[in-house]
Structure 1
Amino acid sequence: MRKLFLTAAAILLISVLAACSQNEDDNAEQEEQATAVETAEATNGDLVIEKSLYGRTEPSSTTPVAVQSAGEITELEVENGDTVEEDDHLATIQTAAGNKNIYAREAGEIAQLTAEEGSMASPDSGPLMVIADFDPMTINLTVAAETLDLLKTGDTYPVMIDDQEYEAEVISVGTMPDDTGLYPVEAEIGNEEGNIKTGVVASMNVPENRVKDSIILPTEAVVTESGESFVYVVKDNQAVKTNVTIKESQSEKTAVEGDVAEGDQVVVNGLLTLSDGKEVNVIEEGDNS
């Protein structure tokens, strides 16, 4: 009898331990079912749609330095890259009529200097050098007729050059098209540090449209399937599928209307395995700024 009692007690203990283990496994499975997501905050404001215009940089002015009479260069006071002021002595030419000094007519930087002391120079051989003004720099653009209304002399716009952002001011908007049918536009950009080189591509972003007083979301938060657009709003640690209507979209931000309010946290990463009502674990929460 005692042996039978011990056997029953052992079976009961094993059953209790198995039940506890099963409960622990069930709890662990429930915890594992929560999907890790990252969120961003919905904001309210205006979405500006920008148009990118492309051009190339060049000095704001170039002044060629030429000789009036043929002769030998006996003195050369500058090198490429030197900075000169107006009336600085640049070179001396020995001509049939005697020595002629050449002075700078403008301030700037010496460029395209190919002459050497002892070499011959003449009016027909082209300029000895060029004095270029690299600060400010000019951006030359050409735009279609429908873009002219977006530009006005004196307006400033952000410009990207070699992954760096600058501010450029429009100084000239053409009223006559060139041979390609496009209109020339010039913008000016400061170059005090000399980081902007001649001939590089510049992208100027001009506001083309503005969607006012809308809910703004990161574009990556908006899912479109079968003609329907929606987002997942996190409420009480659950992903709530919320339909939205896209008003305007850009690569980074999208303006929507729907049951999304300013301050709501919308899922931006972890969308692929989500469904309506699914438990989520927010691992990174941020604002949409």
Structure 2
Amino acid sequence: MLAVLKILPNEFAPAYIKALFRFNHPRPPRYRDLHVPWSLRKWYVGNCSIGDLSLLGGVPLRDLLKEHTLLHFFNDLALSKHQRGESVDDSTIASSPVMHLPRQQAFLCPCCVENDIDRFGRSYWHADHQLPGIYECPTHEGASLRAVDNWDHQEFWFSPGEIQLESFVQPGWLEWMRHDVIHCYEAIAFFMARWEGNLNRHDLVPLFRSRLSKFGVRSDLPHFVMSKYPDAWLESLIASWNKTVTSPRYGLTALSNTFGINRARRVFVCVVAAVLWPTPTEGIAALTALDITD
């Protein structure tokens, strides 16, 4: 019988599974040398379905998918019933970034670590901190996120409080935090990661073209958008969903082409909207006005 460990606000689901294991097997593994039998680790990490996770964490399925995963952010413009938590297709969800770390590092906020320990008695990994392209904590304005190198997702076996001494900040990240377009992208991304509305590519294309014309540009949306972001930021963002991409130019163009096969992702919409609208509020308002949810 598993001891219950309540999932905490915005706790990242893949990390919660491992926290649950630690809670039920209190012998702490050594750093980078995990004394955890593979048979047990496999059950928690590989065999725990999203439905099981909802029961173990004491959270309704719909809330779990919205608040504790990145499913909405990486999925299609129009969410299916199982993506909204109205029905469950474990095989589809398990193969998506909902249960995997989408960035090359795991990210934590030292201020959140301290606050979480004071409030809940333990520190934990936040889902919002793992959103690609995000380098500033959404809760503590101006607080830079710190990264921990990802070695096959093993960092999640430890709480952020245990591992934060190994964390680091790269100099370029501080510059990105002060970049106006990236700052706009962050605000739109935080909203879209939780939004349960639905968009249609046939509505987005004319909207984007209309906004593009206000900049005196008639076409070539990908190249115009790329020119507004630092190349290194785009490269790290695109690597989150396509590990084979070798250049930002190829990656964003390839992603924009997904409009043609009706598989555009919300992450692409966030990247574009942050450029085409002067403020996150205006961009979000324009996108939500196109909601086609019944």
- TM-based fold match above 0.5: no
TM-score, scaled relative to structure 2? 0.18
Higher alpha-carbon Rg: 1
Give the TM-score normalised by the residue count of structure 1. 0.18
Query: Which structure's relative contact order is higher, taking Cα pairs within 8 Å and 6+ residues apart?
Result: 1
